[in-house]
Structure 1
């Protein structure tokens, strides 16, 4: 790839500001897979009053979901090494580009290893209470974070200075070796002994207190990184079965006050290399008595898909979900341009949008900085990439993850709420437009959009009674922001209890289709699960342009047998909005009354009052 110096990012990365004209406008920043645009701010686009025939992202601030805590990566020991070794001026500039919300991308969440991980610059792995083999330290007299005071903590303090809203999570890769069954940081289990569980809990509390005293308060903590990784590759790791994690949490919970505990901290699904035991790990933890100490659960990206987060949310809606690790990767023979393009696209679908549309309160990559060889590292991943890379000549260049995280962190502020938005794409790729929308604490809106297709795609954005159209290049990632309070006079009606999930799932990538050319009498029927009062019906035909019913009749019924016609009409585009007199019904039916050679589909069915 054509590496671009991070100093060049000064241009086009100023913070969002209020619109200047009287007509509502949106600002837009774009990153393309060929690096032709790197969070480049394009001309503003004006909201109009005309409807669009294109697939339409309907942004509805009246429906909100999770609160966002932040977006970022990890200042690992390796990251700290390469950043500290920069010249003071380049290091200061790089930190600004990473953490400053105005001059940079405003990274707002860091997940910090508690002790050593595979990304450790030191020759030997370490914890904060290492003693000679055969010895113990139940009093934790040898505990010290002096190692981190050399490089990691100064960088963390600077990051907090640049972005005071930065949140920090802590995660251990291994307890001290004297607490483990194999007396090693690599592999093994925590000894099943109440004294060990208590000692490990006190060890974690001492870490939280030490970091807080050093000026880096810990907002979140998990008790073990990837507890099902039973055979780590020459780097710290611990096989921690559910029963052991529960005991650690029960010992730790009463000892912590401000810091929130997160359970699990592993993949969306159990990786085949980790066996089949305890595939429902996060469910077991949240069903246990230890759940009272948990704020929620953390996930990684290395197996499964983000839909696992929504499944867990539906089972435990009072518990939060955080997405806490995903590293970019590259093959030894992969051309740099391919690495950038593939990483941008996959992370856009799965990390930027897949996690946030599935209830994640954070989206966090792995290393924030590495050297040109993807290191230094001590065991573990030899193909990982960071947000930035320090080249042999001391130049700092940006990787795809800088932009995928940046399209969130620069525009979606801590405390923002995700709000409803129509999305047509999938994490597995279907070539459509995928997006997520957020309402910031100051009332502004950020909409992040990814064109999964290799070709340019045109779509529309609707907010309130205003709409604009936009075309994104193939594979591009964009963020739109606007400060105007564009709200509709209509409010969406929850369709809880409706029995046609493909039509009322708020997901325009799933749909009903006629499966044949349009003809009179074809119909699709929705059971709303109970009588609903409404005065507007929205019929979304999804992302395949032209796949809408040409002529139609809207009917309603209270019993599914006796039907009354509400209105008739014709559609001209993907989104058809039908206003009716206020009425009530349990069943609705759309019937084709015309002919056309193409099929017709309904991807989403929404009611408003």
Structure 2
């Protein structure tokens, strides 16, 4: 493998952060990185454009073509922007496109669960199909198609909204019959429509926040009920001949997803055996510990849904929409919860809130500091990378590190304190002369490339990380 390492020389406000390849000193904060100690594989980072948010990108509110290309490049091009590699689509359940509803591919009940469905495919999918095409053209690797709800006629409440259960799961029956197989067919047909149109769905899901009876599309489920359906879906996928991985269950919080694990693990034919990725959200409880599974896990949706859009604040007071807040959320989820993927709610939208990473108000493209915090990871930690051992001696200077498949090592130092920190970094196994490149994000800079330097003996270098800042060091 080819190895390289990273260091920096940079300027922030009135301060000069010097990077020199010198031996460590006991007066410095020490950071040690060991590529020989490896943990989870990384699938990537991303967001959703569900509920017609994809149409925002394509000019629903007047965004000109040049800015449409700009936002697509910012989201998915790793050289120009963040290089997101996961897109989470919403599989629609509505028979209308009013408001921000997502159209169903089977909007009407054909007469019962055993009747031949009347599928409809418009090659548009609320803007999500052309978005997937554009994202794949820029380097997307994973398309996670997830249904918030089954169509209403398949549910106990006969409504895509306001909760309700899938007819036929444990303890939930309907006069119309058992709809589990029909729902599995419906989901697989969605993926087949994409495949036949030249776009691969890689992962398939069937629930969103099943603990919450939302006023919008959603469906309730516990772990046992989810397991009932997973077994049906797995057999249906196998019979279809499509190459699809199954995700479940997008619990509204990490604790909620953990509570579903027992049901997924239970029985003589545990549903967990058919799953590829266990997914949970961060709203009710953050991903701060590993879920009880040996499957990959993703934090598949989380956002600041409380605040007005604050694009230019990396740190002010630790608010829920600040860039440093999200840099910390991502780092903790990767390091402590051992997630393989981390997704924000919306990538780009026309909005006055923090629910998106990029705002498209007034036909402008305005990336937030949250977006740049994501980019500090997604641009340099590519699919297939492995998290590696990384330890800091200073409580306010947190660290994570990853070895990419091409041998390049990306190390993130996050200074969560109000004073600059002098640090000595040692990366075990790297030789002197290897060059490293730093990238800085804080209130003043957005992924600012700084001067690269050569490592000293033992793979060491010294740097100064400014207060309330994040620096990624990449071997080059």
Shorter-chain TM band? 0.7 to 0.9
Distance 1:196 1:267, change over 3 A: same
Distance 1:182 1:25, change over 3 A: closer
Q: Is 1:107 matched up with 2:84?
A: yes
Structure showing the higher strand proportion among its residues: 1
Distance 1:151 1:127 in 2: 13
- Rg larger in 1 or in 2? 1
Q: After the TM superposition, which residues 571-590 of structure 1 pair with which residues of structure 2 at under 5 Å, given as runs? A: none
Q: For residue 540 of structure 1, what is the aligned residue in structure 2?
A: none
Distance 1:30 1:124, change over 3 A: farther
Specify every segment of 5 or more residues in structure 1 that has no aligned partner in the other structure, as ranges: 1-17, 37-41, 272-277, 375-383, 426-430, 484-609
| One of 139, 160, 166 as aligned partner of 2:136 | 160
Distance 1:124 1:205, change over 3 A: closer
Q: For residue 175 of structure 1, what is the aligned residue in structure 2?
A: 150
Contact 2:388 2:401 in 1 (8 A): yes
Q: For residue 385 of structure 2, what is the aligned residue in structure 1?
A: 416
**Residue 263 of structure 1 aligns to a residue in which SS?**
strand
Deviation, 1:398, is 0.4
Distance 1:140 1:369, change over 3 A: farther
Q: For residue 195 of structure 1, what is the aligned residue in structure 2?
A: 178
Distance 1:336 1:463, change over 3 A: closer
Q: Is 1:297 matched up with 2:282?
A: no
Q: After the TM superposition, which residues 200-219 of structure 1 pair with which residues of structure 2 at under 5 Å, given as runs? A: 200-219=183-202
Distance 1:176 1:264, change over 3 A: same
Deviation, 1:121, is 7.2
Q: Is 1:458 matched up with 2:405?
A: no
Q: For residue 449 of structure 2, what is the aligned residue in structure 1?
A: none
Q: For residue 241 of structure 1, what is the aligned residue in structure 2?
A: 222
Deviation, 1:446, is 0.3
Distance 1:66 1:145, change over 3 A: farther
Contact 1:74 1:365 in 2 (8 A): yes
Deviation, 1:371, is 0.9
**Residue 26 of structure 1 aligns to a residue in which SS?**
coil
**Residue 104 of structure 2 aligns to a residue in which SS?**
coil
Deviation, 1:286, is 2.9
Q: For residue 52 of structure 2, what is the aligned residue in structure 1?
A: 78
Contact 1:98 1:106 in 2 (8 A): yes
For residues 414-440 of structure 1, give each alpha carbon's deviation from its aligned partner in whole angstroms, at most 9, with x where no partner exists: 111111111468xxxxx6111211001
Contact 2:103 2:125 in 1 (8 A): no
| One of 223, 236, 252 as aligned partner of 2:206 | 223
For residues 277-325 of structure 1, give each alpha carbon's deviation from its aligned partner in whole angstroms, at most 9, with x where no partner exists: x9721232134421210123112111223233x2x2xx433x2111211
Distance 1:474 1:140, change over 3 A: farther
Distance 2:81 2:11 in 1: 15
Question: Number of residue pairs matched?
Answer: 422
Q: After the TM superposition, which residues 248-397 of structure 1 pair with which residues of structure 2 at under 5 Å, given as runs? A: 248-257=229-238, 258-270=243-255, 280-288=259-267, 289-308=270-289, 310=290, 312=291, 315-317=292-294, 319-332=295-308, 341=316, 342=319, 343-374=322-353, 384-392=354-362, 394-397=363-366
**Residue 407 of structure 2 aligns to a residue in which SS?**
coil
Deviation, 1:102, is 1.2
Distance 1:300 1:121, change over 3 A: farther
Distance 1:401 1:148, change over 3 A: farther
Distance 1:339 1:439, change over 3 A: closer
Deviation, 1:480, is 0.8
Q: Is 1:56 matched up with 2:37?
A: no
Deviation, 1:356, is 4.3
Distance 1:31 1:410 in 2: 22
Q: For residue 554 of structure 1, what is the aligned residue in structure 2?
A: none
Distance 2:5 2:17 in 1: 10
Q: For residue 129 of structure 1, what is the aligned residue in structure 2?
A: 106
| CA RMSD, Structure 1 to Structure 2 (Å) | 3.1
**Residue 179 of structure 2 aligns to a residue in which SS?**
helix
Distance 2:75 2:18 in 1: 25
Deviation, 1:366, is 0.9
Deviation, 1:145, is 3.6
Q: TM-score, normalised by structure 1?
A: 0.64
Pick 1 or 2: higher relative contact order, CA cutoff 8 A, min separation 6.
2
